[in-house]
Structure 1
Amino acid sequence: MSRHQAALLGLGLLLIFLLYVGLPGPPKQSSLLWRGPNVTVLTGLTRGNSKIFYREVLPIQQAHRVEVVLLHGKAFSSHTWEQLGTLQLLSERGYRAVAIDLPGFGNSAPSKEVSTEAGRVELLETVLRDLKVQNTVLVSPSLSGSYALPFLMRSHHQLRGFVPIAPTSTRNYAQEQFQAVKTPTLILYGELDHTLARESLQQLRHLPNHSVGKLHNAGHACYLHKPEAFHLALLAFLDHLP
């Protein structure tokens, strides 16, 4: 091969490489976050007026009708439940699990509608309806109590179970209001949380159908400090729901 032919061949290969690099890749599926050997995590936005970002794990084998909706605290988002392994664990046990970003957190935009209790209740009702969640168990740590508790008071008939984890806003309701709620409840808190946990426990004890779980050597975000103990308590509660 002459030098001229070699040069033309080299130029041709260079052009092919540049075209290959410049071509757009296959379209990304925004709904599919990742796929592991046993678990698929989906992400997306609800269809309602207030677009809410969510992460959902498809159960490996649908073994339970209960569906778990995980809210989050002020410093967290739906991603927390993925990092913690909660979504995957629930899936492996046959539960559908959905974690949402509350308005103004994670990938959800702020919303003026949630400035009132009625607005926050309506938002949760819309999210559950859009995602076709039924037989709901609502997990509510810390800040998310401002959503979960008004929902519990107004729409507790829609809930199969309730798992408050030192939630805010318990002082907004009277003893008689708590006593009127028959939803099975697992109250969880960290042993080292000496402020919000004690305050919320004092009010939540008025729920007539409740049990209490204390996670030892854990603070306010007890599910992060003692994830194994948290998961065991949560699964035991879910597995024994009527």
Structure 2
Amino acid sequence: MLLARSRLWLLLLGALLTVLLYLLFPAARRSRPDEGKRGWRVGNGTVLTGMTASDPPVFYREVPAGAAGPGRPQVLFLHGQAFTSKTWETLGTLALLAEEGYRAVAIDLPGYGDSPPAHMVTAEGRRNFLDRVLQDLSMQRPVLVSPSMSGRFALPFLLAQGDRLAGFVPIAPVGTKDYTAEQYQRVQTPTLILYGDRDKRLAPQALQNLQHLPEHRVAVLPGAGHACYLDKPEDFHRALLRFLSQLK
């Protein structure tokens, strides 16, 4: 009888320890330096996600690249008002660039996706935000892809620190009329002005202003609207990869 009771107490104690370890282990993981970073299988790669240390913190996602070719630039994707970093994962853009040996990262801008809101009312504040993101993600001279609303972040950075970018891909961004032809002409960053021919509002305005960039080329996606990368993803990927391959 005494032996049976002893075994019962040992079983109860073991169960209690198991519950305690289950409750405490996640807390221990959250205290590690790679806090918030996680990954899961998708298609032919693993999507890594996490939060940068920026103030405010920024959610990002990427697919680890394969064997990178010599001198291949990294690529940072911003997004439009109706989208998030998830767009570039769902579209297959991150996985495609990873297969080609590029490190490609997509972020959620403040107040979108998993990134908390932030009060950024000045161009300088948005420029400094991108500066911190590049530092947090250890991205040296990336190519910056900027659709629509994200132009409010990308353009101030381009005009102030264009030498820190290996290339710029504006996709009908907003805010191009806020700067003069002389300001654009001082930028030497290789640029691919990309848009859909059915975008009759922002695309013509962006082209009118961005064509003052000395090192620009233009790619028009036939039959595509404002979010041309969604309408014609294969054409978009082809134009982007061609531009990336031509960068020194």
CA distance in 1, matches of 2:67, 2:42: 15
Deviations 1:133-172 (A, max 9, x none): 0121000000000000000000101000000000000000
Residues 36 and 51 in structure 2, CA contact (< 8 A), matched pair in contact too:
no
Q: Deviation at 1:30?
A: 4.6
| Paired residues for 1:1-242 under 5 Å | 24=22, 27=26, 30-36=36-42, 38-63=44-69, 64-112=71-119, 114-242=120-248
Normalising by structure 1, report the TM-score. 0.87
Unaligned runs of 5+ in 1: 1-14
TM-score by length of 2: 0.85
Aligned-residue offset at 1:179: 0.6
- Report the Cα distance in structure 2 between the residues aligned to 1:85 and 1:201, rounded to whole angstroms: 27
Q: Shift of residue 36 of structure 1?
A: 4.5
Secondary structure (helix, strand or coil) at the match of 1:99 reads strand
Taking the aligned partners of 1:46 and 1:36, their CA distance within structure 2 comes to 22
SS in 1 for 2:205: helix
Moved more, 38-47 or 156-165: 38-47
Structure 2: which amino acid aligns with 1:166? A
Tell me how far apart the structure 1 counterparts of residues 140 and 50 of structure 2 sit (CA, whole Å). 19
Unpaired runs of 5+ in structure 2?
1-10, 30-34
Q: Do the aligned partners of residues 37 and 217 (structure 1) sit closer, same or farther apart at CA in structure 2, a change above 3 Å counting?
A: closer
- The equivalent of 2:3 in structure 1 is none
Name the CA distance, whole Å, in 2 between partners of 1:204 and 1:123.
22
Aligned residues: 224
**Residue 41 (structure 1) shift:** 1.4
CA deviation map 1:24-50 (0-9, x unaligned) = 498588522312574221111111221
Superposition CA RMSD, Å: 2.0
Q: Which amino acid aligns with 1:73?
A: G
Identity of aligned residues (%): 55
